Amino acid sequence: MNYPNGKKAKVYSSNKMKQPNFSNRGMTLEEDIAAANEYYRMADIAVIHKKPTPIQIVQVDYPKRSAAVIKEAYFKQASTTDFNGVYRGRYIDFEAKETRNKTSFPLSNVHQHQIDHMKSCYEHGGIVFLIIKFSVQDETYLFPAEHLFPYWEDQLNGGRKSIPYDMIKSKGEHLPFHYQARVDYAKAIDKLYF
């Protein structure tokens, strides 16, 4: 059973709580964002898409005429960010990240090529941010790139290698779970950028 707040009921078996399945951990946030993007598109609010990861297929096996199985493939190039599109006439570009860390967001979750891409989009007037989910707290935040960049530069110069949770709470915008737009980041963009 799912409650109206989106949380699942705990399942008890023989007086023991059922163990959670972590097989797809890390995909939940992206799936929630994809659902929000679909809602935005259907409601004519925004057009935001997940960027495909560019791959080069090297070897394909054809066990049957109607089926092909990719046996070997390589990434063509480093991907940039997860999502991009247009909202209220502005270019949107963002990366989605989850962490089980309770007190900070590790910068090791982001890569230099992603930062370079985000800086370029930001310098050209795009709205650029991270959507960060703290899994343990079950809280999600939109964290603007202009607050991310100083932390990135600081860690390259021997400084802190994470962004404190309290800083993300104060400089970011909390994204509560909703039924239709599960991660309703458009409202946060309105508040921070318009």
In the prediction, which pLDDT does 9 show?
Answer: 52
Question: 3-state DSSP helix/strand/coil percent for the chain, to nearest 5?
Answer: 30, 35, 35
Neighbouring residues of 79: CB distance < 8 A, sequence distance ≥ 6? 51, 53, 54
Domain boundaries, the chain: 24-193
- Which pLDDT belongs to residue 14? 46
Its CATH class, for the domain covering 24-193, is alpha beta
160 burial level (CB within 10 Å; 0-12, 13-18, 19+): exposed
Which pLDDT score is estimated for 67?
80
Average pLDDT per consecutive 10 residues, the chain (194 residues; last block may be shorter): 51 47 58 95 96 74 78 70 96 96 96 95 98 96 98 96 97 91 94 95
- In the prediction, which pLDDT does 15 show? 47
> How far is residue 32's CA from residue 54's CA, in Å, rounded to a whole number?
22
pLDDT at residue 22, as a whole number: 41
pTM of the complete model: 0.77
| Torsion-angle region of 85 (φ positive above 0: left; ψ -120 to 50: alpha; else: beta) | left
Question: Which uninterrupted H or E stretch holds 69?
Answer: strand 67-75
CA angle centred on 151, ends 148 and 154, rounded to 5°? 150
**Torsional sign, CA 35, 37, 39, 42:** negative
